[in-house]
Structure formats: structure tokens, C-alpha cells
Amino acid sequence: MEPMISSDNFKHTPVLLHETIGALNIREDGVYVDGTLGGGGHSFEIAKRLKKGVLVGIDQDDYAIAAAKKRLLDFESKVTIVKSNFEHMNKVLKKLGYSSVDGILLDLGVSSFQLDEAKRGFTYRNSDARLDMRMDPDNTKDAVSILNTYEEDELTRLFREYGEERFASRIARNIVRKRQESPIETAGELNELIDMAIPAKYKRTGGHPSKRVYQALRIEVNDELAVLKNSIDGMIDLLSAGGRLCIITFHSLEDRIVKNSFRRNEDPCTCPKELPVCVCGKKSKGKVVTRKPITASAEELNANSRSKSAKLRVFERIK
């Protein structure tokens, strides 16, 4: 599918850029994967540092791929771009002839273009925008279908678990009532239902009242948490000795998955604590480089407000 919108419009300021590039420990002849290529900001800096090395960029968004190809044109001989989801990284690399790599990057943030472009339906700021939220335009499930088909208890669970929304049940009830009259399709319609459900005193802090519900819908549409949880072990297995996996998250649900997965790969032992020695036979795959996540500097926070919630965690492989 060819993008209908010019790749020139795809803007995304890469967060924690210098910290991430430093953490990857890039070798000139190494093999690296950017599993969330986006507009190619991180990939540009990786490719700049390669001589005989190669970079594989993966993304499921046609607009992002078009923008990245343009941005990385000077490094065409070093870069291979594949339309896919990072959950299929093993298959992608196998098809390209790589059994291991020296570094992997995931930047799980939504791009500025995806948030700001009304036609993508991610934003609550444009009341006339149709609610879409698909990272992959070929995905058959979008936010409109979820809002108009999920049962009330499913919507409540969704908003509570993925949006950490305290008024999830009220919002779900409003949605079900409204859709009995007519389908819910636009951001304005959803915003009104959310606003009605949240008491005034809770709207004074925490940003826009729709923010958490939109996060929950986006996660559900793209199956983001399950994909992340099911992919980390496989990506660690792809790393060569000394190779590093760098993951940038933007909310607590993602960060918790990354933190727990990294810890489990560092210390997989399941033996009872009272046993003097390990007998389960599970071996460590490496070490957690970042005991605490790396966050944006004051300088970056001033330049890019979207870096405020970004957290970088790093895992290094041993064999």
C-alpha cells in the first residue's frame, strides 16, 4: 500500500537519541536492527557509524517507511528496510541471512505525525477526526470497531488495565448508551462521553481527560503489550555475545514488561530460595545494564516535551 500522505509530513523527534546510540556500543562492522524504524531518526545515527556494518529497519507503517527511505538515502547500501512488526524480527532476519545481530533498538513511542495527523485517528485534539489508531493501515481492527462492538465489561477492563483510568466503568457505560442511538465514530463524540463521566475535580490535574482512554484504545488496536511481552526473549536470543537490546518506553505498562523481562533473563533461576545451589538448570542470558532507566536530560525536556515520559532500559547478552 502506497502512502496517500507525503513522507515529508512524517515528523518524529527521536527521544534519548545520544543515550541510546551510546548504549548500543556500535561497531563499524556490526549488524544492527531498528525494530521501530519510524522516520529513521535513530537509524540515521546508527548508519552514520557503520562502515562494513549493516542496519535492518523494521516498521509496519507505510508512511514511516516512506519517510525513512528518504532520510536514509545516503546510506542505501548499508540499510535494508522491511515492512513488518518487530514481533516477526526472527523471521525477517532469517530471510535476510542473519542468525545473530550486535544490537537491537525499539522506540515504542507514537510519532508526532501519527498523533498530529487527523486522518490517522490517534488524537483527541481534532474533534472531527474519525477514530482509527492503526499503526499498520492494513490492520482490519480500528478504534471505531472496538467502541461499537465490545461489551461494556470488555470496555471497562480495557480502559482500566491499559489506560489505568479510574472512571473506566462510567466511561464504558456512556459509550454503550450512546451507541444504541448511533455509532460512535469521531474524536469529538468520544471526548464528550469521557468528559461526562469524569467528575470536575479530577479534570484539574493529569492533562487532557481523554488521554488515558485513547492510550488504551491504541494499545488494544495494535495489540502492543502482548507483542512486546512475547518478543523480548526472542530478541535477546538473537544477540551475539556483547550485543545489546535497547528499549525506550513511554508509559508504566510497557516499562514494567521490559523491566521484568530483563530481570528474568538475567536471573532465570526458579529454584526455591532455601536451596543452597541452583538445580533448575536455567542459565542467565546476560546482564541488565540499566539498574534504573535512563530518562531525558533537562535540555531535552526543554526542547521536546514528549520526552518527559521516555525511559530507556538496556540489556547486554552473554554466551
pLDDT, tens digit, for every residue of 199-245?
999 887 778 889 999 999 999 999 999 999 999 999 999 999 999 99
SS3 state at 233: helix
Helix (H, G, I), strand (E, B) or coil at 127: coil
Pairing of strands 31-34, 239-249: unpaired
12: confidence class by pLDDT, cuts 50, 70, 90: low
Cα torsion angle, 98, 101, 105, 106, sign: positive
pLDDT bucket at 125, cuts 50 / 70 / 90:
confident
What does the mean pLDDT of the chain come to? 93
Supply the pLDDT for residue 7: 47
Distance between CA atoms of residues 106 and 262, nearest Å: 14
* pTM of the shown model: 0.92
What is the predicted pLDDT for the residue at 143?
97
**Beta-strand relationship, 286-288 and 311-317:** antiparallel
**Which has more confidence, 160 or 136?**
160
User: Any idea what the Cα angle at residue 242 is, between residues 236 and 244, rounded to 5°?
Assistant: 45
232 or 119, higher pLDDT: 232
pLDDT tens readout for residues 155-176? 999 999 999 999 999 999 999 9
Lowest pLDDT segment from 70-84, 116-130, 149-163, 258-272? 116-130
Strand 54-59: give its sheet, edge to edge: 79-83, 54-59, 31-34, 101-107, 239-249, 311-317, 286-288
Handedness of CA 88, 93, 99, 101 (dihedral sign): negative
Residue 2 has pLDDT above 60, yes or no: no
Model pLDDT, residue 228: 98
Query: Hey, what's the cell of 165?
Result: 483510568
Mean pLDDT to the nearest integer, 144-155: 98
Does residue 305 register a pLDDT over 90? no
CB-based contacts of 251, cutoff 8 Å, min separation 6:
215, 309
Where residue 5 falls among pLDDT bands split at 50, 70, 90? very low
Once rounded to an integer, what is the mean pLDDT over residues 109-117?
Answer: 74
The per-residue pLDDT for 1 is 39
What beta strand segments (E) does the chain contain? 31-34, 54-59, 79-83, 101-107, 239-249, 286-288, 311-317
User: Per residue in 239-294, pLDDT tens?
Assistant: 999 999 999 999 999 999 999 999 999 999 999 988 888 889 899 999 999 999 99
pLDDT band at 113 (very low <50, low <70, confident <90, very high): low
Asked if 65 contacts 59 with a C-beta cutoff of 8 angstroms, the reply is yes
